[in-house]
Structure 1
């Protein structure tokens, strides 16, 4: 039970009111069974109750601190106070009942203020500003109600302060009156009770003042949030309006583009060029019109028609390629004819010479002896292995690995659901990588 306080003390005459931010004074704290209660200097500030042996120790040595936000305050009898928080317990004792009441009031107010500060911090971290019109209207109504309530609280605070001052003057005048000796005890009891009422009323007045300050702070914060939301909404509306204008301009430009592109060329370049253009247009139209899905069990084909926008874009690209002389033909020479340059003038530009076929793969033979020679004297983890060692030895092996799960395609052909069919085809596509799991040295 050592250092588990049971203390009490009287505050100094310079101690502020219990409702203020800082409260100091002497209390007797229980230390142990040998020493009993010892006089300690207690300081209540920012929701923390700290104690020292003397006032001089405040600058360098703190004997203990307890957080009132998580503390439990209990009053055992007329002069004792028990504080418990996180396994620590302080048993305190005041010299008089009035002094005990002052400390209890100060502790309760400090605890409530500490809890309120913790809640405010959590609310500030998770605040979300309203975005809808109904939320803004509700916020405006709430602000108006709070403003009216704040005015009422200010009026009540002034009335309480005025009546409290009148009551204190009356008590002072009562103390100054000369009364008979037999009425002294009654006057003393009345004064003690009046002092308790004065402490409580002062604490209530200070609490009302703190609440007013806090409410005004929150009101200003809400007003700033509402103003910020208005600015953000205005900025968003302006941005949407600009995007709508850009969208309309782009749509008009897109509608005017086909008339410019679809105009026929000024003169035919050559019969060969016209034949190539007509041939590619016909092939592109055939490709864009229908797609067939190979199904073995189905007696007929399923025709999938491409969208009109796709055909329109493809036809535009073909026409522009034909008018600009950019038609690709991989089977013929890509050099520009002189007659084409004479006819088209500035619109046509000479193109680079393209290759007509892909060159053959170089046949480099693997030299096993040179590889073994380079591995001499090296660790096994640092020996570079050629990529060819991790690849299939023949084209037949590669095809076998790629078609290992061919039954997925058969199952997909028999499915009625297009989604399940797509999943099976995707699974077959990635199934060829199943053999690379056992090739630990594969570098990619």
Structure 2
């Protein structure tokens, strides 16, 4: 292999269409995979793309004028964050770093490097006008895409009819299949249909001619798309000119303040739904305040990393030197002193809790404006945000422990896993459960849960769920749940970093599921909060989740796909393999709709479907019907909850009831009480979990203590 440094030739390119090109190291999307050498090209349109080498097609791209560029003094790292993707790259030398930064500054309007709040300037109003023009172009592209999908669907049907022209016997069958093909063409752009369609009789004898005509039509539509895309890029990149606003200078100055793939759409989504999501993401949102944002590129200078952060970076990127050229109900329990209570000792008995009628709406919606999250985040670019205190206006009326319980909402899938005897069927249901744990996040991008106090707990008798905060710094949570024939437990930690335009949530810790002698384990991919500066904020989960079966070595690799501008969003695909890598099953769907097993090209077996959202979900924090019940104290809980349960926190209760001032005061009081305990060396210790290596495991005893109402006898004291 050619030496990396010898093969890197970076410099300003004389090509009129290219500003700069050359080799850089790009951080891979999968965790612990380090960096890989990639060839980057910066076009005068502002598009930064990369490929395996100059001869290969582009793998991905970012529109730099709408991106935030972050660097750190003395380092050769560059973090480029747009609204839909983030590139983390390393330059090969200091000279390369300076050259690339010089080139990047040519694409970032200087007046937009400094984010400002307040009324829009004339320049900004022109920018919004350009955004509206861009929206019109987007609509035209959407119409072209619809035509393209229809043409491809017709072509697929005709090709299928040529392969098996006599397979459909009756006109009813043909008409039925026509409707199926029409839907399939919208949902499964590049999948071959299993049925057949009746083609036009006038062309039945000349299939080659009709095929050519269809391909010709597809080519015409593709040409139209290319032209529309070029118009869109020009409209976005054109600098706004007004009588009172001089043209922006080419290069950026550093101010003291600043130091501070195309994928086939899911067959579960509709074209109208995809188009509306695209438009909402690209639209400029207006709020009740007078603030307006101009979504242009920015440059940030990161603080120098601390020794702890440097150490963490080394641990997370231990493959940096491995550079490649190619892509690669309430119940009673009986505790035991063992690590995990034995299943034989568990004798759950159903009580009246299952007959409790739970609420269907919160007492109050959000109070006041959630404020400018960006104002807080911009001062902490590149840092871990998990320990940064935020006002209560940024919170939702649930603790992080309660949000963990939301991940287990669809625990009935685990009942199906326990009943399954076929290993492939079982791991498919495990995968469906793992994906379902993200469904509650569909509309949860605006606010965060309350950070629990150390030793704070939360229970839910519906799945015998108990969670506890076991560490304050770093923040670590643990939970344990069980049902008929299954046991689920996890340790949850992570980091949160802001890259200028998006917030990256990096989960740490594994989830374990035990069913009889079977043991499954998996880790979560990263999540991104997009459009923090302007537009409609939304969550995107990106990366791979590998579910491994320890006992038989079966595995399921789930890929949470990154959304593109024009493709479907929230898609998930998966492949089940045996110990030898043989493909046994295929899964597909969306984490906020449903997951199905692909039986053949025309049939799916739905494994999980999301419960419909409440009608007024967006007016009540985006909570699901299940989430609405989590902070409710039902009659059967009176006198049974420990004084450490999240439902009893006064700040969360006040926010839920719409009293923002009281919530802020109580939050300050509760947090100060914890600090005082720490100063007096009286800090609480976790009660129901103990550390075992890097994980925290349930010690047992919670449900026994609860059933005997012995919280005082057990010396469980309040935290607030």
Give the number of the structure whose residues are more often helix, by fraction.
1
Q: Which has the larger radius of gyration?
A: 1
- TM-score over 0.5 for the alignment? no
So what's the TM-score if we normalise by structure 2? Answer: 0.15
* Structure-1-length-normalised TM-score: 0.23
Determine which structure has the larger strand proportion and give its number.
Answer: 2
